[in-house]
Chain A
Amino acid sequence: MRAKHLILLSVIGIALGVAPAAKAAPSSVTDAALSPAQQREAKAIGGQVNCLCGCLTTVNRCPHLHCSMKAQEKSFIAADIKAGKPPRTVIQDLVLHYGVKILPAPPPRGFNLTAWMLPGFGLIVGLVVAVDLARRWRRHPAATDGTNPVPLDPKILAAIEEERKSVE
Chain B
Amino acid sequence: MNQFGTIALIAGLAFAVYGAVVGAVAGKLRSSRMLKSAERAVVAFFASITLAIIAVEYNLLTNDFHSAYVAEHSNRALRLLYKIPALWSGQEGSLLFWTWLLSIYVLLAVLLNRRKNRQLMPYVISIALAVGTFFASITFFLANPFNRLAETSPNGLQPFTPADGNGLNPALQYHSMVIHPPMLYLGYVGFVIPFAFAMSALITRQLGDNWIRVTRRWTMVPWMFLGTGILLGANWAYFVLGWGGYWGWDPVENASLLPWLAATAFLHSVMIQEKRGMLKVWNMVLIILTFFLSIFGTFLTRSGIISSVHAFAQSNIGSYFSVFLGVIAAFSLTLLFLRLDYLKSENRLDSVISRESGFLFNNWILLAAVFAVLWGTIFPILSKAVEGVTVTVGPPFFDRVMVPIGLLLLLLTGAGPLLAWRKTSFQSLKRNFTLPLIVAAVAGILLYVGGVRKLDPWMSLSLCAFVAACVLGEFYKGARTRMKTAGEHFIQALYNLTMKNTRRYGGYVIHLGIVMLFVGFSGLAFKSETQGLMRPGDILQADGYLLRCENITRGQTANYKYTTVSLSVTHHGRAIGVLKPQKRFYLASQQPITHVAVHPSLAQDLYVVLAGRDPGTGKAVIQVFINPLVEWVWIGGIVMFLGTLLALVPSRAEREIAEIRRKKDLVVEAERAG
Contacts and interface: CB of A to CB of B under 8 A. Distances in A.
- Report A-B touching, CB under 8 Å: yes
Interface in B376-417: 376, 379, 383, 386-387, 389-397, 400-401, 405
Contact of B243 (A54, A63, A123): A63
Given A63-B594, A134-B349, A99 B390 contact: yes
Contact of B360 (A99, A110, A118, A130): A130
Interface stretch (A1-9, A73-81, A154-162): A1-9
A119 B361 contact: no
Contacts, number: 151
Given A119-B375, A138-B348, A100 B360 contact: no
Given A56-B307, A57-B248, A105-B396, A111 B386 contact: yes
A56 B308 contact: yes
Interface stretch (A20-28, A84-92, A139-147): A139-147
A32 B401 CA distance: 37
Contact of A119 (B363, B372, B386, B422): B372
A115 B348 contact: no
B423 A105 contact: no
Interface stretch (B52-60, B153-161, B182-190, B309-317): B309-317
Contacts of B394: 50, 56, 104-105
Taking each of B242, B278, B346, B379, which has the highest tally of chain A beta carbons within 10 Å of its own beta carbon?
B379
B667 interface: no
A100 B390 CA distance: 7
Interface residues of A, number: 50
Interface in A48-96: 50, 54-57, 60-61, 63-66
Contact of A50 (B386, B392, B401): B392
A103 to B, nearest CB: 6
A99 to B, nearest CB: 7
Interface string B291-322: 00000000000000001110111100000000
Interface string B359-370: 011011001100
A106 B241 contact: no
Given A56-B309, A119-B376, A146-B422, A103 B392 contact: yes
Contacts of B372: 119, 122-123
Contacts of A105: 392-397, 400
Interface residues of B, number: 64
Interface stretch (B26-34, B350-358, B444-452, B643-651): B350-358
A61 B405 CA distance: 27
B308 A106 contact: no
Contact of B387 (A55, A111, A130): A111
Nearest to B389: A100
B360 A134 contact: yes
A3 B591 contact: yes
A123 B72 contact: no
Nearest to B352: A134
The 5 closest A-B pairs by CB, nearest first: A137-B349, A104-B394, A146-B350, A119-B372, A140-B348
Interface of B: 72, 166, 169, 241-245, 248, 250, 278, 307-309, 311-314, 345-352, 356-357, 360-361, 363-364, 367-368, 371-372, 375-376, 379, 383, 386-387, 389-397, 400-401, 405, 422-423, 589-592, 594, 611-612, 616
